[in-house]
Structure 1
Amino acid sequence: MQRGFSIVKKYEHDNLNLPMRATQRAAGYDFQAAESFVLPSIWRLPFLKILWQIRHNETIASVDDEKATKVLKPLLVPTGIKAYMGENEYLLIANRSSNPLKRGLILPNGVGIIDADYVDNPKNEGEIFIQMINWGLKDITINKGERIGQGIFMPFLVTDNDQQQVKQTRQGGFGSSGIK
């Protein structure tokens, strides 16, 4: 069984580093940002306005709700990396322990799951993105090459009747198998 990482074509000339373990006993492979960008703080007027309305038992207009929801929407940090692995494995994407503590950055989904059939999917070549929200008071610049998350290869089990269930081929990219 083989497993590992490679760089997606979009970033093949951008001098990206493949994920590596930092120490001999580290479980996670450190993922870096493929490009620099600003991760805005959630503490913006639309979100604060909703909090004020809730606190004062006011009716929340749908337009205010939509604006606040946009502020709370996580951003996808591109890594430029794809992972290949055995068919009964997945790559668990977790936050770095220092991100929430030192920078207020969290993964809103808790962990990400990269399935073995995500690699080379037709939507995005299997590029791994890390969802992040900035709970800090100020916008944060994430620089290209900065460590933003970690990936841990894990085996998984299936049920006794799994082979009897009809499976489809993945069609979708990030956040979707493409199967309805």
Structure 2
Amino acid sequence: MYPVALKRLPGNEDIPLPKQMSEWAAGFDVHAAVSETLVLEPGRRALVPTGFAMAMPRELEAQVRPRSGLAFKHGITCLNTPGTIDADYRGEVKVLLINLGSEPFAIQRGERIAQIVFQRVPQVTLAEVDELPESVRGEGGFGHTGK
């Protein structure tokens, strides 16, 4: 287990802290801490506050991901997905939402808007080299295996 400290920000006592919605859920749902209803028009994006900040061990990152129900039913998803929250960030967690649907979408205070999944981050070292080892794939990139 890795301890993650959550700090509810002032004025957000009514906003639930992140919570797993089922016993085996990978993600913790986060809620909108908007001061008034935010209408997200089709094609528009907004940075939505969540009313909390957190501190986690350096071995972790928090990935902000869309909620599948909002994406399927309304076309509401996250930009920069998954968004990474680094272990040394201490500001308010915010979610960058976009409306890819065809209708305006109203985001109400306290509504579940995204989920956070915590992942371990391996400590790596980078080394500059003159040559890379060969591989079967080589430089094959986007679409190199067909459709």
Q: Which runs of 5+ in 2 are unaligned?
A: 128-147
Cα drift, residue 161 of structure 1: 5.8
Cα drift, residue 5 of structure 1: 2.0
Matches within 5 A, 1:1-180: 1-9=2-10, 11-12=11-12, 14-35=13-34, 36-42=37-43, 72=44, 74-119=45-90, 126-160=91-125
Letter of the structure 1 residue corresponding to residue 27 of structure 2: G
In the aligned structure 2, how far is the partner of 1:160 from the partner of 1:136?
42
Cα drift, residue 154 of structure 1: 1.2
In the aligned structure 1, how far is the partner of 2:115 from the partner of 2:9?
18
Cα drift, residue 75 of structure 1: 0.9
In the aligned structure 1, how far is the partner of 2:126 from the partner of 2:67?
37
Letter of the structure 1 residue corresponding to residue 42 of structure 2: S
In the aligned structure 2, how far is the partner of 1:83 from the partner of 1:91?
10
Cα drift, residue 37 of structure 1: 1.1
In the aligned structure 2, how far is the partner of 1:109 from the partner of 1:160?
25
- 3-state SS in 2 of match to 1:98: helix
Q: Which runs of 5+ in 1 are unaligned?
A: 43-71, 120-125, 163-180
Cα 1:160–1:99 shift into 2, 3 Å: same
In the aligned structure 1, how far is the partner of 2:33 from the partner of 2:125?
41
Q: Supply the RMSD in Å over aligned alpha carbons.
A: 1.7
Q: Return the TM-score normalized by structure 1.
A: 0.64
Cα 1:136–1:161 shift into 2, 3 Å: closer
- 3-state SS in 1 of match to 2:47: strand
Which has the larger share of helix? 1
In the aligned structure 1, how far is the partner of 2:122 from the partner of 2:50?
28
In the aligned structure 2, how far is the partner of 1:6 from the partner of 1:27?
21
Please identify runs of 4+ aligned residues in structure 1 that moved more than 6 A. none
Count of matched residue positions in the alignment of Structure 1 and Structure 2:
124
In the aligned structure 2, how far is the partner of 1:93 from the partner of 1:32?
12
- Give CA-to-partner distance per residue, 1:127-151, whole Å, 9 cap, x none: 0111011111121101111110001
- 3-state SS in 1 of match to 2:88: helix
The percentage of counterpart residues that share the same residue type is 31
